[in-house]
């Protein structure tokens, strides 16, 4: 199996199973450098055949957004799952997703701890050919503005196809896959 930078992997190191992320691929020697998820985190070199890929949980975009929101606010897993306290700001569609299936709480916890993949691709909406030409959604007010494609706390700049078409179907012609933009940085 070929690995690439950013892959989540499992490896046995010093007789213990660890998870980590690939930080470097050394093609000449068929080795990879893995940052092991241990305290303190260390980078360690492994032969590719010593490592197995972790299958990541696949989540809808709105759940992934909730995880990122919670982590940006330094919340723990229990706070991210809590939707009953008085000032809950958990989006309704996330609450519905949890209520839809009991296993979704376990998927959420695995995604929180091990990482996840998004079920559907994401897009920026680039309406002006400029560094500041991307549509941004203010999550607090619901207002749309143009700015950079960076996503500060409280704003959303990455959208699914259905989210874009729900805004205005004409925006779809301005959609640019996130991967294309990230590769040029």
Q: Please write the tens of the pLDDT for every residue from 139-177.
A: 889 999 999 999 888 899 999 888 899 899 999 999 999
pLDDT of amino acid 176: 94
pLDDT of amino acid 125: 96
- For helices 92-100 and 103-114, what crossing angle results, to 10°? 120
User: Rounded distance, CA 47 to CA 73, Å?
Assistant: 37
Mean model confidence pLDDT for the chain: 87
Instruction: Give the mean model confidence (pLDDT) for residues 61-78.
Output: 90
Instruction: Judge whether residue 184 has pLDDT over 70.
Output: no
CB atoms within 10 A of CB 7: 20
Q: Which fold has domain 8-53?
A: SH3 type barrels. (2.30.30)
pLDDT of amino acid 153: 83
User: Against a cut of 0.75, is the pTM above it?
Assistant: no
* Residue range(s) of every CATH 2.30.30 domain in the chain: 8-53
Residue of higher predicted confidence among 114 and 125: 125
User: Rounded distance, CA 97 to CA 107, Å?
Assistant: 11
Residue of higher predicted confidence among 133 and 89: 133
User: Rounded distance, CA 146 to CA 125, Å?
Assistant: 9
């Amino acid at each position: 199996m070929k690995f690439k930078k950013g892959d989540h992997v499992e490896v046995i190191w010093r007789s213990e199973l660890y998870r980590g992320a690939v930080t470097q691929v050394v093609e000449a020697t068929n080795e990879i450098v893995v940052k092991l998820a241990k305290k303190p985190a260390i980078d360690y070199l492994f032969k590719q055949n010593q490592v197995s890929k972790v299958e990541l949980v696949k989540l809808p975009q709105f759940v992934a957004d909730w995880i990122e929101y919670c982590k940006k606010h330094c919340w723990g897993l229990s706070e991210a799952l809590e939707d009953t306290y008085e000032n809950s700001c958990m989006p309704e569609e996330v609450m519905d997703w949890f209520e839809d299936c009991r296993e979704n709480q376990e998927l959420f916890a695995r995604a929180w701890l091990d990482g996840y993949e998004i079920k559907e691709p994401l897009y920026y909406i680039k309406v002006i050919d400029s560094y500041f030409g991307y549509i941004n959604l203010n999550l607090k007010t619901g207002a749309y503005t143009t700015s950079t494609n960076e996503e500060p706390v409280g704003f959303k700049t990455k959208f699914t196809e259905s989210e874009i078409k729900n805004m205005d179907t004409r925006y779809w012609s301005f959609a640019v896959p996130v991967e294309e933009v990230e590769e040029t940085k």
